[in-house]
């Protein structure tokens, strides 16, 4: 480093706040004064060089890890898209008009599904809860057109996902409780009661009717705790309705 002497002339650069002279540069930073090398460059030390190298290595490592994570996410997303495309292709091809499609009744009493308005055309009759019939697709397409409100209320379900998708009924059917969920309600579990609470008003009424009919025909098949819980949630006295039903079947009996 060059030495300063008495003849050295210092000047201040107003824009940078740096004192300089012809041989070198003095940088004033707070309470620390550093003497720089020629051409305004700070002298480098082994310690500072190592720190820069460490920082650079750390930054490169972080970039590599981030790149690996992004690659993994892209691979996973690509696999999911491939599966969705396969499912879409499987579900989108046409269904033969002569194919038989399973349909399930979700009512505990008679359900008539007709291919024409006002009960005309071919009529498919269901008599019991969860009864399944096979309907030719060319007829089922007309049934779905004429009886769409029944499907919306959860009175029956189409047991073929492809047919549901082709007719644009996914949202309508998925919002209703299916056989497994209704049976869960009958068990009176916390999940079952939550399902009952989420059901549409029409399906809640169906569940109440089913429980009442079970209490009339086979009281031992019904859990009284479930009856009590559904009674409180529906604000309907199921036990009283069952007694009234028994009286109608046998007028000589007495309602307590």
Angle at 182 between CA 177 and CA 184, to 5 degrees: 120
Q: How far is CA 34 from the centre of its chain?
A: 63
Ranges 22-26, 109-113, 207-211: which has the least confidence: 22-26
Return the pLDDT at 65: 85
- CA separation for the pair 12, 38 (Å, rounded): 17
3-state secondary structure of 106: coil
Q: What are the structural domain ranges in the chain?
A: 11-40, 53-93, 100-174, 179-249
* Average pLDDT in the chain: 80
What band does 104 get if pLDDT is binned at 50, 70 and 90? very high
| Strand partners of residue 55 | none
- CA separation for the pair 183, 165 (Å, rounded): 25
């Amino acid at each position: 480093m060059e030495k300063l002497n008495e003849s050295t002339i210092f000047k201040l650069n107003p824009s940078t706040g740096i004192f300089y002279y012809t041989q070198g540069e003095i940088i004033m930073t707070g309470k620390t004064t550093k003497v720089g090398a020629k051409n305004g460059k700070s002298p480098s030390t082994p310690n500072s060089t190592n720190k820069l190298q460490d920082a650079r290595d750390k930054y490169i490592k972080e970039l590599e890890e981030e790149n690996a994570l992004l690659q993994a996410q892209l691979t996973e997303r690509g696999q999911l898209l491939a599966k969705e495309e396969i499912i879409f292709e499987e579900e989108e091809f046409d269904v033969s008009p002569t194919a038989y499609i399973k349909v399930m009744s979700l009512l505990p009493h008679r359900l008539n599904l007709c291919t024409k308005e006002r009960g005309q055309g071919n009529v498919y009759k269901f008599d019991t809860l969860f009864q399944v019939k096979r309907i030719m697709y060319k007829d089922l397409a007309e049934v779905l057109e004429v009886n769409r409100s029944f499907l919306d209320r959860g009175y029956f379900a189409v047991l073929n996902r492809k047919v549901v998708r082709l007719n644009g009924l996914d949202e309508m059917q998925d919002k209703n409780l299916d056989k497994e969920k209704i049976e869960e309600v009958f068990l009176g579990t916390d999940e079952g009661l939550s399902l009952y609470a989420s059901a549409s008003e029409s399906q809640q009424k169906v569940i109440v009717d089913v429980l009442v009919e079970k209490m009339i025909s086979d009281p031992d098949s019904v859990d009284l705790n479930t009856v009590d819980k559904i009674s409180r949630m529906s604000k309907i006295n199921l036990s009283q309705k069952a007694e009234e039903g028994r009286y109608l079947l046998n007028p000589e009996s007495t309602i307590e």
